Amino acid sequence: MSQTPQSQLPQSQTTETECQVPLERRPKHIAVIMDGNGRWAKKHNLPRGEGHVRGVESVRRTMEACRDLGVQVLTLYCLSSENWKRPASELEFLMALLKQYLIAEREQLVSNNLRLRIIGERDRIPAEVQAEMDLSVEACSKNDGMTLCLAINYGSRREIVRAIQRIADKVSSGELTSNAINEQLVSDNLDTAGLPDPDLLVRTSGEMRISNYLLWQISYSELWVTPTLWPDFGKEHLIAAVNEFASRDRRFGGLNQERNVIA
C-alpha cells in the first residue's frame, strides 16, 4: 500500500491543475474511504459536526474532479455498518446532514448528468432519509454520465453474506445448481452488481486499513493512502493519486512481458 506524505505534493498545485495522464491510463472506477472529519475538527478546535459539514464540501470537489477526469464510477464510503457504535447525537447529525445533502444536491446531480447509486442496508436509516434517497436515485435515473455510488450503512462482510444467502435460496429452490456458482455469480449478487470493480482505492487520514470496504471488489485495486484529512482533500490530491496509479504496472498476477518476471 503506497502512502504519499503531504510534503510530497507539489505546493504549487491548485484545484484547477489538469491531469497529464492520458485518458486510457486513468482509473475508470475510484473508491474512496473518506476518513478524518473528526480529527480535522479537533485540529481546528471545532465541534465534530463541523468536520462532517466540511467533509461534504470535499465530496462535492471530488465528485466534480472525477467527472472532469473522465472517471466512470466514484464510490464513496459515507457510513459504515460499524459507525452505529458512535454516540447517538453524532449519528442523528449525520442522518440530518445526509438528508440535507440529498435535497440540496439533487438538482446539481441531475444537471451534471450524474447517475446515483446507493449501496448498503436500509433498515437503520430513518424513513425520511430513505425517502430522499429514493427521490434522488429516481431523479438521476435517466442520466447517462458518471455514476456516483454512495455506500451508506455499508459493511462488506454483511454484503457478502447477503449475496451468499441469495445464491443459497436459488439453489434451494432449484433455480441454480451448486456447480453454477462462480465468481461472476457472486459479483452479480453483491450490492455493486453491474458496476466495474474499482481500479483505485483512495484512503485519507493516513490510516492503513481497508475497514470492511468492498472486500470482494478491490481484489486487484491499486491502493493509495494520503495523510491528508478528508475535509482538506482536493483536486490536487486526486490528481496525485491518478498519477501514481498510472505509473504502476498492473499485472493482475501475470507476467511483466518486458522484464519477464512473475508478478
Exposed/middle/buried for residue 188 (C-beta within 10 Å: 0-12, 13-18, 19+): middle
Q: Which 8-state DSSP code applies to residue 85?
A: G
Beta strands of 135-237 (E only): which ranges? 147-154, 200-203, 222-225
Distance CA 226, CA 228 (A): 5
Residue 177 burial (CB count, 10 A): 9
Could you give the residue numbers annotated as active site? 35, 83
Distance CA 22, CA 246 (A): 9
